[in-house]
Structures are given as C-alpha cells and as structure tokens.
Amino acid sequence: MTILQAAYPYLDTHTAGHPTRAILGGVPPLNGQTVLEQRQDFERRFDHLRGTLLHEPRGHAAMVGLIPVPSQVADFGAIFISSYVYLGMCGHGTIGLARTLAFTGAISPATGDRFTLETPAGVVEVRLDWTDQGELGSVSLKNVPAYMGLPALEVDVPGLGKITTDILYSGMWYAMVPADPLGLALEPDNVSACLALGWRIKQAIAKATEGLPVLRGLPAPSVMFHSDRGPAHSRQMLVLAPNKYDRSPCGTGTCARMAQLLIRGDLNEAETYRAENILGVPFTATLAGTAEVEGRTGYEIVVRGQAHLSAQGTIYVEKGDPLEGGFLGR
C-alpha cells in the first residue's frame, strides 16, 4: 500500500514560454498581516518546500512557484518562489495568476475587468481583456514604480573586461547590458553562451554592489541582455543563474528597461515599448504615470501579455522518498 506523506494540487501556466506553478493546496496557513510577512513566515518555516514543489523530479530549475495567500488590502495576495531566491514581484507570474484565477472561476466577466494583487513588493493593479466568448485574453498589470538605483556602474568582469551597466529596481533589481557590443546573439541556439557570460557578469555585479544600502538587502541584480530590433522595440533575455533564464521577456525586467529608456531620453512618455523574448513572443509596455520613491522619480509602467494553461495535477510526496526535497543540477 502506498503511503502518501503530502499532496499539493497545482495548476501550471506559461507566460510567453516561462512557467508559473500555482500551488492550490497543501501549504499550511502562514502567519502575518501582510503578504511580505507571510512570505517571511514561509521562508522561516517552509523553505524546504521550494525544492519539493519546484525542482526535479517534480519540476525543473526554471520553474517559478506562486502561493496564493490572503490580503487585507487587495483582492488577492500571492508570494512568488523560485529556485534560488524569493521574488518581491513577478510580472509573468502575475499574468499566470490571472489565467489560473479565470480557469478556477475565481474571476470571470461577471466579476469585472480588473483586480488588485498584494505582492511582497506592494500592491499591483491587474486589468483583464475578456473575449466575447467569456475567455480571458491579454492581461495588463501596473507594476510597482521602477526607478534608477545605480546609473552607469562600471564593473570589471573576469575574462571580459570592464562594462558599464545601469542598475534599476522594478520589484526586483536588474542590470541592463547591451548584447550587441558583446557579439552575443539572443537566439534559442545561443542560450548556453548567454547563460555563461550573463552569470559571470552577474557575479561581478554582486561583488561590486555587495552591502550597498540602495539595494535594500534584496537579491543581487539579474542581467538583462537586450538587443535593439527597431524604434521602441528590443529583444531581451534575462539571466538569473548559470542554469536559469527567463523564457518570457520578463515583466518586471521590461518595466526596468522601459524606465531606463525614459530616463536616458531614448523613449518618449507617449510611446509603447515592445519587448520580445528569444522566441519572438512579445510583451508591450506603456507609461501610466510617475511617483516619487525615496527622493527618486519612479515610473509606473503597465506591462501587457498573455498566459496559457499547460498542466494540472497533484504533486505527491511518498513516505520514504529519498528525493523528497527535490534536486537541481547546476
């Protein structure tokens, strides 16, 4: 007789290719008045579950998890978990959550065309495009304000030399790195080369920025490679780890990139920015307004994309499984 130790029902979606695994049960109630406090409680008591829920043999290195939690200030709350760090905000995951809520019936044309979501980084506004048949089409989210943290930071990368990068915040920290001057093609067949170089750059940036108060103790900036494809149009690839990149154009990273373009004067406030991933699937971004963030100008950017269902099931942990906590190959 099979003895199950735990069961976690889930729904998988992908947003422009990147997965979001919504965990719909099995996680004990979390303590805390805010979503951030609930995430901190998860970190303290249940961090071991990240490997079980996301990693092999039940997932893979690129899986992003979403755990719905109660919110006292928004319609919904969610914490985002990944292989190595906890995410303050996740754009592709928020779009995936909207698709999950539509599939489960928590939202519908009858509930309206918008909802609010409390994340650890703050409350974001989500708007929904319903088709005439009542299906969810594209999803738009107004992110927390994006702003410049460290302009024109010079970093010495071993084996590459000195590069200059802007470091911006948009729920997480991102380092903007042009791909073309490095001779780096942002194409599916070149992913391994992008990962190898992006990880070296990320490590160098982490060393150069370690302990800086402006980063507020958050994870080191990930590397956003970008390559211009035309006016207000770029291809993007976000390197997160030596074995992990964002398959989508990255929602929060797109906010950071658009903020950089606005700050540098390479984009005017009325333009729509088109960011595509290495597969050519786009997000679009527009400016909704500005807000002051700790004495800086923050840009309230709306990102639009679409998520699709990919799987539904239950993660089982059988008693005696030697790989209960999952594993990753780096």
Q: What is the dihedral of CA 120, 123, 127, 133, to 10 degrees?
A: 50
The Cα–Cα gap between 215 and 227 comes to 26
Contact 117, 97 (CB under 8 A): yes
Catalytic residue (one of 23, 250, 262, 307): 250
Q: Round to whole Å and give the CA distance between 160 and 193.
A: 13
State how far the Cα of 68 lies from the Cα of 156, in Å rounded to an integer: 41
Q: Which runs of consecutive H residues, i.e. helices, occur in the chain?
A: 35-46, 49-54, 91-104, 191-209, 251-264
Query: How many Å apart are CA 178 and CA 225, to the nearest integer?
Result: 6
Whether 255 sits among the annotated catalytic residues: the reply is no
Distance CA 117, CA 278 (A): 29
Phi and psi at residue 100, to the nearest 5°: -65, -45
- CA nearest to 186, candidates 281, 90, 301: 281
Residue 194 is among the residues annotated as catalytic for this protein: no
DSSP codes of every residue in 10-63? EEEEEETTEEEEEE-S-SPPPP-SSHHHHHHHHHHHHTTHHHHHHSBTTS-TT-
For the chain, give the number of residues: 330
In the set 11, 53, 90, 204, the catalytic residue is: 90
Positions annotated as catalytic residues are 90, 250
